[in-house]
Structure 1
Amino acid sequence: MLEINYNTKLLGVVGENIPYTLSPAIHNFSFQSLGINAVYLAFDIKKKDFDQIFRGLVKITYGLNVTIPYKEDAMKYVEQTDIIKRIGALNTIFEGKGYNTDYLAIKSLVSERVDSFNTCTIFGAGGASRAAIFALADLGCSISIINRTKEKAEKLANELEEKGIKIKINSYCNADIIVNSTPNSDFVPDECINGKLVIDFVYKPVVTSLIKKAQSKGIKTINGLEILVRQAMEAEKIWFGKSLEDEEVVKYLYARKLVW
């Protein structure tokens, strides 16, 4: 049981409409397991109040995570590291600097799961797709985007081309790596479930319909819970220089019936 005192460090996640977030459960379990005197809260902030409240949170907290819809808005309040300047979004703050551990998580998980790949197709062109695009591009993948609204995909492609990443729009379904960055795992058509690796950002349920279909074809997978936990542990390394093993956190979440 955490004993809160004047030395207890305050951390948390900032977002809007985030009662679902698993971040407090993940980090408070990790802090307690590692003997770190810290507490992690969820700060659910309305858009109209964001600027005023967030400015104060950056000053009084030891570290922060940032989730939807503020990953871009938060950038103006921190010193921008090179990677978040490129990505255009952050999700972690420490000592006034912004980081993107979504990028680190995807890059490391993909590197662990497959040895070689050339083509990557990402379904969705929203904020979640950015970290995946940069991580995969930096690993040498040729990127294609398939999105329900072609104009949105073209806007993202034009923006990223200025940063040195060329993206094809709706060009191919078959690829070495298939990524679903949308909230709907059924958005990826069955005929597109192929290649060496399938990634689904959705983490409830952990084994989504997309993950099930990929595994039934013998394709390696990365599920949304793996990404969530890995990015959280990468954030703890930034804050405290250490973290738990991913497997220990996942086991805890299942035991508490927080995921299924």
Structure 2
Amino acid sequence: MLNELDGHTILIGLMAYPIRHSMSPTMHNHAFHKLGLNYAYLAFEIDNEKLPGAIDAIRTLDMRGSNISMPNKQKVIPYLDKLDPATEMIGAVNTVVNDNGVLTGYTTDGIGFMKSLDVDGINIRGQKMVLAGAGGAATAIAVQAALDGVKEMSIFNRDDEFWESAKHNVEIINEKTDCHATLHRLEDQEDFKSEIDSAFIYCDATSVGMNPLQDQTLVTDPSWFRKDLVVYDTVYAPRTTKLMEVAEEAGVEHVYNGLGMMIYQGAAAFKLWTGEDMPVDYISEVIFGE
């Protein structure tokens, strides 16, 4: 045991299905230990059917809160008392905070994305972003980047079950922020290449590149990338994705996987629960070897 658990230990959860593979319990419990905080973070396999009872348990057990992951990020909203403004726009929750029985939903994925760039000296505010995807992580990135000052955003998605979500993301960004967003079909490769060519950053927030699609990438031709383009893949397993290999072949100077986003979204949730800053350098070195 990292910490000595006692009658005063504060419980935080992670509710998703499946979830036993998650690195979040290891990350948070090491951070609690490092700072000497009397908290414990446990993973619970909770699907949509079990979700109402699980959210009630946060209040009943006086838990400090919980992370929420798929398939519960949208389904959890009706069971909460409040949403922070960005989360209202995003329409998905990954963090719940319990303040004396009042449950507030937050989304820290977009915060983690922006912070991971900021700490490396990459400022995308006032710039153009090309973003592939319209799922939960993509939506959080799109909204947070727009709120933080990205000037222009071209969102690409296939004409699939996420197309309506992509349309909604564009509409709400244009309505609620100063960013100008446009929607594009990923099937139009000529348009895709042209938009990337005029962008400051290209971010793939799809599951392409992750198992079982680890040998695939939306961009296969290194000539699509300039050396001064920022290329970001939200996948962190494998550490070097196929997209990253293409970018490195093109000589792109700033290429990222999703590890930084994963750490800093966790750090944002950690701050909401404890009021303390997660020791991210320690976590990066001890847990992830970076």
Q: SS of 2:260's equivalent?
A: helix
What's 2:256 paired with? Answer: 222
The 3 A distance-change label for structure 1 pair 164 and 200 is closer
Deviates more, 1:168-177 or 1:235-244: 168-177
* Contact persistence 1:31–1:37 (CA under 8 A): yes
What's 1:196 paired with? Answer: 229
Identical-pair percentage: 25
Match of 2:207 among 155, 175, 183: 183
Structure 2: where are the runs of 5+ without partners? 175-180, 186-190, 210-215
State the alpha-carbon separation in 2 of the partners of residues 125 and 193 from structure 1. 22
4+ residue segments displaced more than 6 Å: none
The 3 A distance-change label for structure 1 pair 210 and 245 is farther
Deviates more, 1:3-12 or 1:131-140: 131-140
What's 2:105 paired with? Answer: 98
State the alpha-carbon separation in 2 of the partners of residues 244 and 53 from structure 1. 26
What's 1:35 paired with? Answer: 36
TM-score of the pair, normalised by structure 2: 0.80
* Contact persistence 2:137–2:205 (CA under 8 A): yes
Instruction: Supply the RMSD in Å over aligned alpha carbons.
Output: 2.2
The alignment status of 1:231 with 2:265, answered yes or no, reads yes
State the alpha-carbon separation in 2 of the partners of residues 114 and 152 from structure 1. 29
Give 1:187 deviation, angstroms. 2.8
Q: SS of 2:22's equivalent?
A: coil
- Which structure features the higher share of helix residues? 1
Match of 2:286 among 218, 241, 252: 252
* Contact persistence 1:84–1:98 (CA under 8 A): yes
The letter for the 2-side match of 1:93 is V
Match of 2:246 among 184, 188, 213: 213
Q: How many residue pairs align between the two structures? A: 255
After superposition, give the CA deviation of every residue in 1:176-219 in whole Å (9 maximum; x if it has no partner). Answer: 21111122223321334445211111111222222233234133
After superposition, give the CA deviation of every residue in 1:109-132 in whole Å (9 maximum; x if it has no partner). Answer: 234442356321222221221111
What's 1:81 paired with? Answer: 84
The letter for the 1-side match of 2:56 is R
Q: SS of 1:47's equivalent?
A: coil
Give 1:20 deviation, angstroms. 1.2
The alignment status of 1:7 with 2:41, answered yes or no, reads no
What's 1:240 paired with? Answer: 274
Once the two structures are superposed, the pairs formed by residues 165-180 of structure 1 within 5 Å of their partners are 165=174, 166-170=181-185, 171-173=191-193, 174=196, 175-180=199-204
The 3 A distance-change label for structure 1 pair 206 and 13 is same
State the alpha-carbon separation in 2 of the partners of residues 245 and 55 from structure 1. 31
* Contact persistence 1:26–1:249 (CA under 8 A): yes
The 3 A distance-change label for structure 1 pair 180 and 249 is same
The 3 A distance-change label for structure 1 pair 254 and 6 is same
